[in-house]
Amino acid sequence: MRILVTICARKGSKRVKNKNMRDLMGKPLIIHTIETAKKWGRADRIVVSTDSEEIAAVSREYGADVPFMRPKELASDTAPKLPVIRHVVEFLMDEENEEFDLVVDLDPTSPLRTVEDIENAYNTVLNRNCVNLFSVCSARKSPYFNMVELDDKGYAHLSKTLKNPIFRMQDTPIVYELNASIYMYWTKYLFDMKSVINEGSIIYEMPYERSIDIDSEMDFNMVEFFIKNNKL
């Protein structure tokens, strides 16, 4: 089986300026993910998709492939991730005659995942009948208990209700939140997917302390804290 690791990292960021190149413990943020992918050791190729020459240069320096610059239409704030991954697969197939059975997408803004997380997720995919996998952590809020929506008159209501009322969080159905860390796609299904969540999707659960996705300065500070204090 041939495995492709994709790392999608466009330039710019509104909440954390140039976050993929932001220094984290002495190296750019994206490098933490590249190094973890290399240590995992199962990938036939590790490809970074980016529209930044700076990200491309440092990615190559640390051992990832950057065989193209990402097209402008796939590098906007609103561009979804799946078309970006499909573009990598199509480019390698059309331009380099390479095909892969499994695509492992690792988000560079989630640097706390471990080699063991990737390996455990990989084994889960191998041992379950599925079309794809995404990593999650246990949700800190529940739509059955303490998450509300506003109706058309502006009044708050629980997002989801059950036949019998629930008075304790621990009595609610188990729910998870996607932690934007690990995604695995069987290539034979990839081009038919309209979303990450599909019929036939499965999960790999990670603890909260390895599930921080950097989307704010507070997130960045929390990641630094966990690394500096060996809280992983």
**Per-residue model confidence as pLDDT tens digits over 86-102:** 999 999 999 999 999 99
Question: Looking at the predicted structure, is the pLDDT value of residue 14 above 90?
Answer: no
Lowest mean pLDDT segment, chosen from 38-42, 170-174, 222-226: 170-174
Closest Cα partner for 58 from 88, 100, 97, 24?
24
In terms of Cα–Cα distance, which of 103, 90, 160 is closest to 131?
Answer: 103
Beta-carbon count within 10 A of 44 CB: 13
User: How much is the average pLDDT of 6-24?
Assistant: 90
Dump pLDDT digits (tens) for 41-88: 999 999 999 999 999 999 999 999 999 999 999 998 888 999 999 999
Structure tokens at 188: 């034979």
Determine the pLDDT at residue 17.
Answer: 85
pLDDT at 12: 75
Sketch out the chain's domains with CATH numbers. Answer: 3-137+175-228 (3.90.550.10), 140-173 (no CATH)
**30-34, 124-128, 172-176: segment of lowest average pLDDT:** 172-176
Percentage with pLDDT > 70 across the chain: 99
Put residue 14 in one of left, alpha, beta given phi > 0 → left and psi -120 to 50 → alpha: alpha
Q: Residues 184-207: pLDDT tens digits? A: 999 999 999 999 999 999 999 999
Give the pLDDT band (50/70/90) at residue 231.
low
pLDDT of residue 195: 95
Q: Are 144 and 75 in contact (CB under 8 A)?
A: no
What sign has the CA pseudo-torsion 102, 81, 204, 219? Answer: positive
pLDDT tens track for 105-161? 999 999 999 999 999 999 999 999 999 999 999 999 999 999 999 999 999 999 999
Alpha-carbon span 83 to 163, nearest angstrom: 40
Residue 232 has pLDDT above 60, yes or no: no
